[in-house]
Amino acid sequence: MDKSWISWDKNSSEYQEKAKEFIFNSKKYARNPDLVRCPCIICQNRSTQTDEVLLLHLVKYGFDPMYKDWVGHGEPTRPTRSARTNSFVEVPHIDEDSEMHDAHHMYEDTYFQLPRPDGGETSTFTNLDDFYRNKVLEAEVPLYPGCTKYTKLSATLNLYKLKADSGLSNVGFDNFLKEFKNMLPKGNTCPDSLYTVKKTLKDFDLGYEKIHTCINDCCLFRGDNLNLQKCPECQASRWKVNPRTKKIEEGTLAKVLRYFPIIPRLQRMFLSSTIGEQLTWHSSHHSQDGMMRHPVDSVQWSFIDKKWAAFASDPRNLRFGLATDGFNPFSEKSTKHSTWPVILVIYNLPPNVCMSSENLMLSLLIPGPRQPGNDIDVYLQPLRDDLVKLWNGVEMYDAYSKAMFNLRAILLWTINDFPAYGNLSGLAVKGEFGCPVCG
């Protein structure tokens, strides 16, 4: 395609005519002809625009200088050099229904800057630099020369999911990858070990916080207690103590709480236009016959709407349920250990999506060996702090509406058995006054 015109004066009639011609030709390759990906320096192909807005962007901002191959607008593919094999491989056109498209936009959602609706400075969740640009290009490299269904990234994701679903051991997975790589054509980009798979997928890892805790569940070593060496309540060391010699083994933690921050994960969810649309499902699916089919039809939901009308006015604001209980992750013969996961359920989602495993957010992993009991509130502090932030509002970008907004969230319910209910609420659930309703 002729690209010489993109360097012309953007205010000239010649440039504008060429831009209109570009838009007309690009509509042939768009999933929706009324919305074409905008290659301007602000949108960088991550937003779709109408003809009028697209022309305005091209005239006002110009083309993204990094967009040299117009593969998203109908330009034929060209050979490119694979960094791994030093051979030429073909980068195919990204079909928007293929797994290659999903992998490509997985990187886009993670690393690219997001345009502000006012056309001002961009909002960035992760800095965009050459390293991540190379990651995007790597996501487009096919699994082997001529492959049109899988890229290196999509194949890695599928193979790793296969390992998790089948319970394949690390050694077995390594052996499988070596054999599978040898079966593929020469010049393939398939990973050859579990280490390579983890290294590739590490870029998507949102991570978790390791928070030191008192061995007796008195406190967390965070905030004002961050630099303390002993618990301010029971004076127990934050480090492991040898039970025989009583020597403190500095560097070996006595107990660790693992917290998976929820705000970055919610930001990631709203970066997907599909999930962003699903998160507003509840606003247009109230029951019309008085039957309850989703929590949106409940009395508690209506109570929240009436009490906090400003919160209810934006359907993107989230409503959580919190579920927790203990389980033994080790041998069934051992009954002494009890690890407590704390899981958040997002009730904005449709009923068939709401309780699916991928949408249940593990937020805390409370360590054993014993159950936290009434001290569970100590471990809930990091989650509580983030929920307070979300109630006050956190700025996010919504890819569905293509606009920044102030996300708020509220905790509606807890889901647990009766003993755990007593721990979470602080109410008596046994003995002479064991009814939490009437006391």
72-85 pLDDT, tens per residue? 787 764 443 333 33
* Measured distance CA(238)–CA(251) in Å, rounded: 9
Domain parsing of the chain, residue ranges: 4-73, 79-204, 209-253, 261-425
**Whole-number Cα distances in Å, 282 to 65, 142, 315, 345:** 41, 39, 8, 14
For the ranges 76-80, 109-113, 150-154, which has the lowest average pLDDT? 109-113
Q: Round to whole Å and give the CA distance between 153 and 190.
A: 9
Contact (Cβ atoms closer than 8 angstroms) between residue 408 and residue 392: yes
At 107, the pLDDT band (50, 70, 90 cuts) reads: very low
Burial 81-110 (b: 16+ CB within 10 A, else e): ebeeeeeebebbbbebebbbbbbbbbbbbb
Sheet holding 409-415, edge to edge: 209-212, 256-259, 360-366, 340-346, 318-324, 409-415
Hey, how many other C-beta atoms are within 10 angstroms of the C-beta on 179?
Answer: 10
Question: What's the chain's average pLDDT?
Answer: 80
CB neighbours of 386 closer than 8 A, spacing ≥ 6? 261, 262, 263
Q: Rg for the chain (alpha carbons), in Å?
A: 27
189-193, 289-293, 298-302, 331-335: segment of lowest average pLDDT: 331-335
pTM exceeds 0.75, yes or no: no
